[in-house]
Structure formats: structure tokens, C-alpha cells
């Protein structure tokens, strides 16, 4: 067979495997640890003559469908890991089929136009002003990097410096203020930007990390020159929110830059029932969210929005071409607006899923997951052996196993072992965190496939494992 003819056959092989794989997701273990032995089939020396296309694709499918962590199924509750809607998954295949170099208009008007359109749709979905600039990124980490790079550019300009050209030498340290909910990826972004991971001054009013707005107000008043506030919309342990509205007031009063990390929490804006949680985000200077979490688009998918689009060009467009794209300029080059150069057409799966399900589909998904989180929270509250550690705000439920006969001093160890056993068991995935000094489970519900039965199974498996673990 000639290789040109093989291209379609190879894809048909993948398509042929898709139906049995996808239909198995509801039933199969989240991870079948016994299958991990198959991973050896990936190994071996680099082939001299090549093993052939179909043989290689078949091998990859065999190993992949067996050993993957099936987080696109309905019962992966660890971290905040979304699934893939059918439209998004197929849109992602189209991205691979067309293989666009999507950084420049010249190399792909398709990708550029699609990116402009999905950014507009996303701003609409999130209630952000249409005048905001935006760029698609591989993740929320990169979106935080994008927003904070713009903040750094803005801050440097206030000091009469162009940090994109000249770096930070000779400047004071950029002041960054946040509550205790700040996500490590914002610190990582600051570390990459040369501002330093530890530049963040955390102002929290309790051990959960709730932001101390009054202390932040005072601190901003004492800072000479502009500062950056990082607000968190959706904290990973409990799904709680900083009061973005109050932080926006502070930013306005003190002339600070407000960056809001809404990796998953920004999706509250899609529902009138939940949007109060992110009130004020439309006044932020930069905003981050993830596509591969609650939008249920395949990895890698994130977005950054910036109030002043021109700053994006100054922070990222310094290739020697002084290109400042206008919001309605069809010839936008997205690699001048974000940290990447060559990049895939990650707008296509986003376009497909937003078009397929519309505003209503995304509103209903957020509300359904909120309902499921409330259901789980209710079960926990009604269970004498379970303890809810924080109110259910959105899609995360923070709790621990706490039977009456186990002394407080043993609870952390017991819950840690329950978390390990859950992962080893594989029927449902949920792991532990440390919340207010306590080891806790914190399932996040953001997968379109998840149903009430999956939530009930999570509880029964936890209880089964907990009973076994505390007896052992």
C-alpha cells in the first residue's frame, strides 16, 4: 500500500476504535491498573526500517484504549478534569486532519477567523465586554502567564520602562497582592516572568485563605506606584470565590491591575443562577479560563482575555514587526498576542462545541453540575460518618470521612489512605488535598457525562473503602 493511500485508512482505524471505546466509557473503570503491563508494548529500540503505519496505529490504539486514564468518562472527580463533548472531540479531530499552522493569518485564515469568532462567543458566554482582547492558550497556566505578562508590561510602562524590550533590571519588584486562594499556576507565571514566585503578598483573613479586602486596601494605600491584584474565581479545594466585585473596586480606587483566574469558576457566568459568584469580572484587566475543564474540550485548551487589547501586542508582538491588531481587523496574527509561536488550530473544537450546544447547552451543563455538587453535599451532610468541610458553592465538594469512633488525631491518616485506595480501586477517581490543615476529599464535577448514579456510586465506593480501610 502506498503511504498516500494509507492516510485515510489509518484514520478509519481510529474511527473504528472510537465507537467501542466511547460506548465503554460509562461502564469501565476510570483506570484499569492491571492493564498497565500493556505499556511495555510501546517500548523497544527505535525501529530501523519502520514497522508501518497501520501496524503502529493499531498498536497505539490497543495500548491506548487499554491503559489510558479514562477521564473523559463520567467518574473522574480528581483535580478539575473535564471530558470532551462529542462536538468538541470531533472538532479536535478536524484540527488534526487539517493540521493548520495557526499563529499567522497568512498560514491559516481559517484558524485566525475561527479564533476571533470563538473569543467573541466566549466573551458573550462569560458576560465580558466585547471590546476585550483575547487569545487562545494551551491551558489556564498559559492564560495566567498571558494576563500577568500584560500586567507586567503595563506596570513597567508606569515606571517608564518597556520590560518586553529591556527586562526588569533596574526596576523595583512588581507588587502582587492576592488572597489565599491564589492558584500555584499564577505563581508559576510570575516565576517565568522574572517577577518571582514569591512576589505574591497573601492577605488572608482565615486559614481557608479567604481574602482580607480591608488589609488589601491598606496595603495598596501604602504601595508607591501601581500594583497587581490576583483574584481567584473558583478555588480548587472548595470551589469558593474571591469577592471579585470588591477587588475590582479596590483596583479602581488604587489604580491597580486586576487579574482574575477563573480557570473553571468563570463558567458560573454562563448561568443566571450562578453568575453572582463572578460579579465584577467584567471590570478585570485580565481574565483566565480553561477550555479543557468545564467547556469539555479536549486538552490543550485555555483562554486569556485582556481589557486593553493593545497591551497584548506590546507584550507579545515584539518580533520586530510593530503590529498592533485592531479588534475588528480580520488579519489578526494570534502569535503576536500570546506566548506561543507555532500553534495548532485549537479554536476548531471550541467553535464546534459552542455552536453545537449554544448558550443554553453551556448554561444547563453548569447548572446540572451545580445540582450534582449540591446532591453530593446533601448526602455528605446527611451521613453521620461524613463531614462537609465547606459550603458547596459551585462544582466542588470538600469533605472527609469521620466516623464517631475514630479519634481526630487519626483522621488525616485515614482519609489519606482512603484517597490512595480509591485511586487503586479505579471505579471512581477522587483524591485528597489538605484543607485548613485537614486531609480531605474534594471531588470536582465538570464532566458532561456525569449523572446522579455516578455521584451515588462515588459515595458508596468511598464508604465501602473507608469501612475496609478503618477496619484494617
Ligand X SMILES: *Cc1c(COP(=O)(O)O)cnc(C)c1O
Identify the DSSP state of 467. Answer: H
Choose the binding region for ligand X from 10-18, 135-143, 312-320, 399-407 (rule: CB under 6 A).
135-143
d(CA 321, CA 103): 14
What angle, rounded to 10 degrees, do the helices at 140-158 and 309-316 form? 90
| CB 11, min distance to ligand X, A | 28
Of the residues 70, 123, 183, 346, which one makes contact with ligand X according to CB under 6 A: 183
Nearer to ligand X, 235 or 425 (CB): 235
Nearer to ligand X, 178 or 311 (CB): 178
Nearer to ligand X, 105 or 241 (CB): 241
Inter-CA distances, 239 with 79, 267, 270, 277, 418, Å: 11, 12, 16, 10, 22
Q: Taking CB under 6 A as the rule, does residue 380 contact ligand X?
A: no
Taking CA 165 as the corner, what is the angle to CA 161 and CA 169, rounded to the nearest 5 degrees? Answer: 60
Provide DSSP, 333-401.
-GGGSSS-SS---THHHHHHHHHHHHHHHHHHHHHHHHHHHHHHHHHHHH-TTEEE-S---SSB--EEE
Region for residue 101 given its phi and psi (left: phi exceeds 0; alpha: psi -120 to 50; beta: otherwise): beta
Of the residues 290, 340, 425, 454, which one makes contact with ligand X according to CB under 6 A: 290
Q: Taking CB under 6 A as the rule, does residue 446 contact ligand X?
A: no
Region for residue 355 given its phi and psi (left: phi exceeds 0; alpha: psi -120 to 50; beta: otherwise): alpha
Mapping DSSP to helix (H, G, I), strand (E, B) and coil, where does residue 319 land? coil
Choose the binding region for ligand X from 91-99, 219-227, 257-265, 381-389 (rule: CB under 6 A).
257-265
d(CA 98, CA 90): 12
Nearer to ligand X, 195 or 304 (CB): 304
Query: How distant is the alpha carbon of residue 144 from its chain centre?
Result: 11
Binding to ligand X (CB under 6 A) within 292-331 occurs at 302
Q: Taking CB under 6 A as the rule, does residue 286 contact ligand X?
A: no
Choose the binding region for ligand X from 68-76, 99-107, 259-267, 454-462 (rule: CB under 6 A).
259-267
Q: Taking CB under 6 A as the rule, does residue 231 contact ligand X?
A: no
Identify the DSSP state of 42. Answer: G
Choose the binding region for ligand X from 14-22, 41-49, 134-142, 355-363 (rule: CB under 6 A).
134-142
Q: Taking CB under 6 A as the rule, does residue 234 contact ligand X?
A: yes
**Quick one: cell of 79?**
483535580
| CB 144, min distance to ligand X, A | 6
Q: Taking CB under 6 A as the rule, does residue 264 contact ligand X?
A: yes
Choose the binding region for ligand X from 33-41, 161-169, 198-206, 232-240 (rule: CB under 6 A).
232-240
Q: Could you count the other beta carbons within 10 Å of the beta carbon of residue 323?
A: 15
Q: Taking CB under 6 A as the rule, does residue 115 contact ligand X?
A: no
Q: Taking CB under 6 A as the rule, does residue 147 contact ligand X?
A: no
Q: Taking CB under 6 A as the rule, does residue 287 contact ligand X?
A: no
Q: Omega of the bond prior to 46 within 30 degrees of 0, cis?
A: no
| CB 454, min distance to ligand X, A | 21
Binding to ligand X (CB under 6 A) within 72-101 occurs at 80
Nearer to ligand X, 219 or 236 (CB): 236
| CB 401, min distance to ligand X, A | 24
* Beta-bridge partners for 346: none
| CB 390, min distance to ligand X, A | 15
Of the residues 140, 208, 306, 352, which one makes contact with ligand X according to CB under 6 A: 140
**Quick one: cell of 470?**
478503618
Torsion of CA 140, 145, 149, 155, to 10 degrees: 80
Mapping DSSP to helix (H, G, I), strand (E, B) and coil, where does residue 188 land? helix
Nearer to ligand X, 144 or 439 (CB): 144
Q: Which residues bind ligand X (CB under 6 A)?
A: 80, 139-141, 183, 185, 232, 234, 236, 261, 263-264, 290, 302
Amino acid at each position: 500500500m502506498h503511504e498516500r493511500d494509507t492516510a485515510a485508512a489509518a484514520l478509519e482505524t481510529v474511527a473504528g476504535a472510537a465507537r467501542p471505546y466511547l460506548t465503554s466509557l460509562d461502564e469501565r473503570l476510570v483506570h484499569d491498573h492491571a492493564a498497565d503491563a500493556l505499556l511495555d508494548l510501546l517500548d523497544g529500540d527505535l525501529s530501523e526500517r519502520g514497522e508501518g503505519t497501520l501496524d503502529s496505529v493499531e498498536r497505539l490504539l490497543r495500548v491506548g484504549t487499554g491503559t489510558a486514564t479514562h477521564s473523559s468518562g463520567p467518574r473522574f472527580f480528581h483535580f478539575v478534569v473535564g471530558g470532551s463533548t462529542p462536538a468538541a472531540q470531533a472538532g479536535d479531530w478536524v484540527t488534526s486532519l487539517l493540521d493548520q499552522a495557526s499563529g499567522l493569518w497568512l498560514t491559516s485564515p481559517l484558524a485566525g477567523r475561527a479564533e476571533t469568532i470563538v473569543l467573541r462567543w466566549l466573551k458573550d458566554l462569560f458576560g465580558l465586554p466585547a471590546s476585550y482582547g483575547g487569545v487562545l492558550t494551551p491551558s489556564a497556566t498559559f492564560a495566567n502567564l498571558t494576563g500577568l505578562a500584560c500586567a507586567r508590561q503595563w506596570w513597567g510602562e508606569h515606571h517608564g520602562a518597556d520590560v518586553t524590550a529591556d527586562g526588569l533590571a533596574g526596576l523595583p519588584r512588581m507588587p502582587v497582592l492576592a488572597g489565599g486562594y491564589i492558584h500555584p499556576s499564577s505563581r508559576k507565571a510570575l516565576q517565568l516572568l522574572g517577577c518571582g514566585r514569591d512576589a505574591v503578598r497573601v492577605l488572608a483573613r482565615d486559614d481557608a485563605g479567604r481574602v482580607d479586602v480591608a488589609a488589601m486596601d491598606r496595603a495598596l494605600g501604602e504601595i508607591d506606584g501601581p500594583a497587581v491584584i490576583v483574584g481567584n474565581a473558583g478555588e480548587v479545594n472548595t470551589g469558593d470565590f474571591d469577592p471579585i466585585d470588591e477587588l475590582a473596586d479596590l483596583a479602581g480606587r488604587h489604580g491597580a491591575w486586576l487579574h482574575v483566574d477563573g480557570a473553571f469558576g468563570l463558567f458560573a457566568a454562563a448561568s443566571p443562577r450562578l453568575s453572582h459568584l463572578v460579579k465584577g469580572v467584567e471590570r478585570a484587566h485580565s481574565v483566565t479560563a480553561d477550555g479543557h475543564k468545564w467547556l469539555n474540550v479536549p486538552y490543550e485548551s485555555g483562554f486569556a482575555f485582556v481589557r486593553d487589547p493593545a497591551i497584548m501586542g506590546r507584550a507579545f508582538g515584539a518580533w520586530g514587526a510593530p503590529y498592533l491588531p485592531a479588534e475588528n481587523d480580520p488579519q489578526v496574527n494570534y502569535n503576536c498576542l500570546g506566548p506561543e509561536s507555532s500553534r495548532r488550530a485549537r479554536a476548531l473544537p471550541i467553535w464546534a462545541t459552542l455552536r453545537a450546544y449554544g448558550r443554553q447547552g453551556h448554561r444547563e451543563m453548569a447548572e446540572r453540575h451545580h445540582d450534582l455538587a449540591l446532591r453530593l453535599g446533601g448526602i455528605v451532610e446527611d451521613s453521620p460518618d461524613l463531614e462537609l468541610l465547606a459550603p458547596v458553592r459551585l462544582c466542588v465538594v470538600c469533605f472527609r470521612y469521620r466516623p464517631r469512633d475514630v479519634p481526630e488525631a487519626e483522621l488525616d491518616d485515614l482519609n489519606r489512605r482512603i484517597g490512595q485506595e480509591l485511586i487503586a480501586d479505579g471505579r471512581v477517581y477522587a483524591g485528597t488535598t489538605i484543607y485548613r490543615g485537614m486531609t480531605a476529599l474534594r471531588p470536582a464535577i465538570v464532566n458532561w457525562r456525569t449523572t446522579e448514579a455516578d455521584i451515588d456510586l462515588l459515595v458508596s465506593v468511598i464508604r465501602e473503602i473507608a469501612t475496609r480501610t478503618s477496619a484494617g
